[in-house]
Amino acid sequence: TAIAERLLGAAHRVRTTISVGVALLDHHDPHTIRSAADQLLYEAKSAGRDQARMADLKKRGDTVSA
């Protein structure tokens, strides 16, 4: 129909990006895990668009990867 054609013609693409912070922690309370993931999210956002940061605190020490 004419209305559908006008709506489709008016539609446009929306570009989205994502930044992610992931914390892998054993034997930690939810607050500690959430705080670690939040810090990693801010690090990912500071690095630019489409970034991921991960910390594996299950092992000795802190390993962060992009």
| Per-position b or e across 20-32, b if 16+ CB within 10 A of its CB | ebebeeeeeeeee
Question: pLDDT for 26-46, tens place per residue?
Answer: 777 888 888 988 999 999 999
Angle 48-39-55 (CA atoms, 0-180°, nearest 5)?
90
Indicate the pTM of the whole model: 0.61
Q: Find the helix or strand (DSSP H, E) in which 46 lies.
A: helix 30-46
- For residue 44, the model assigns a pLDDT of 92
CA angle 24, 25, 31 (to 5 degrees): 110
Pairing of strands 63-65, 20-24: unpaired
Mean pLDDT on 1-20: 77
Q: Which residue would you say has higher pLDDT here, 56 or 35?
A: 35
